[in-house]
Amino acid sequence: MLDNKKRKLLSTYKRWRSRINPQLKELRLSLYVIRRSPLALVGLGIIAAFILLAIFGDFLAPYNPYTLNLESRLQPPSFIHLFGTDELGRDVFSRLLSGAKYSIEIGIIVLAVSIPLGSLLGAIAGYFGGIYDEVIMRTTDVFQAFPSLILAMAVSAALGPSLQNVMVALIVVWWPPYARLVRATALSIRDYAFVEAARSMGASKARIIFQHILPNSISPVIIRATLEMGAVIIWSAGLSFLGFGAQPPSPEWGRLITEGRLYIFQAWWITTFPGVAILLVVLGFNLFGDGLRDILDPKLRRVIEVK
């Protein structure tokens, strides 16, 4: 009886090890590539710092970001107010910390909706072809026929000024490129041997799309999403700057730049520090995206495996 239990445990351990070893190997390769790219580590550190600010910014703010103090208006940076005060006496540093959650949240929500929507439509168009491909691709052509920023402004203006409507406008602009990207990958994958094998074994079309087409299209999608996260944040700040996004007294970074533009020569710090924050978070995502591209590059991984 004891020998049977040992054999079963040993068999279970071997099965578990055979399943976990490939994942461990992938993790080691990824960590090795990341270590070879210091800039990717810098980008990851910047992203982590801003995510923490988005979560804990309201607790770390030394002042209430909405409290007015007209006696302290337009004060330059000092030990009392690290980034100075704005035209209403509000602490710029506190408003910057509190506003981090809006910019990060917009980027995450826009891509969290755009990527699955565009990827699924692209996979359907690439796998089925025919009328499905024509309808989906002509729809993407309609959305991409307009300049993206003009289309986002038009949608935002039609829906009304608010952060929620800015998210909707950016989703409208952002999903078509992902549909085209996944469609191109699906067109080549659908004729591969493993897809033919799954089809011959009676796998449903939905199962083939979700278990074979989409997983094998995920690498370029992840790389594009990482690089475009910064672009989403810039666009949302730009729409808020134009008056389509956050409204007073919201401390969203684009709104902060808008409020300070009239005092740019008198109180440069109101617009400068939010602009630097946007620059840093965009730089972080771009640096990390470059490192992620190296991790998912098959040629580089084969060279590492040979070594």
In a domain, 53, yes or no: no
Around Cβ 149, how many Cβ atoms within 10 Å? 13
Cβ atoms 285, 226 nearer than 8 A: yes
Is 32 a domain residue? no
**Amino acid 96: pLDDT:** 92
Match 């278990």 to its residue by tokens. Answer: 211
Q: What is the pLDDT of residue 9?
A: 57
Spell out the residues 6+ positions from residue 174 whose beta carbon is closer than 8 angstroms to its own.
Answer: 110, 111, 114, 118, 228, 232
Calculate the alpha carbon distances from 100 to 47, 105, 107 in Å: 12, 8, 11
Domain for residue 48, yes or no? no
How many domains are there within the chain? 1
pLDDT at 40: 77
- Res 306: pLDDT: 44
216 contacts 198 by C-beta, under 8 angstroms: no
SS3 91: strand
Q: Does residue 222 lie in a domain region?
A: yes
177 closest CA partner among 229, 135, 140, 230:
140
Q: Is residue 52 part of a domain?
A: no
Supply the DSSP symbol for 82.
Answer: T
Report DSSP letters for 23-67, one per residue: HHHHHHHHHHHHHT-HHHHHHHHHHHHHHHHHHHHHHH-SS-TT-
Q: What is the CATH number of the domain that holds 89?
A: 1.10.3720.10
Which has the closest alpha carbon to 281: 35, 39, 48, 40? 48
Angle in degrees, CA 232, 38, 44, rounded to 5: 35
Predicted TM-score of the model (pTM): 0.79
Whether 45 is in a domain gets the answer no
Per-10-residue mean pLDDT, the chain, length 307:
56 53 53 66 87 88 88 89 90 91 88 90 87 89 86 88 89 91 85 76 79 79 82 86 82 86 87 91 85 63 48
88 falls within a domain: yes
110-143 per-residue burial string, b: 16 or more CB within 10 A, e: under 16: bbebbbebbbbbbbbbbbeeeeebeebbeebeeb
Q: Residue 184 is part of which domain span?
A: 81-306
The token pair that represents 76 in the structure block? 């330059």
Is 301 part of a structural domain of the chain?
yes
How many whole angstroms separate alpha carbon 169 and alpha carbon 231? 14
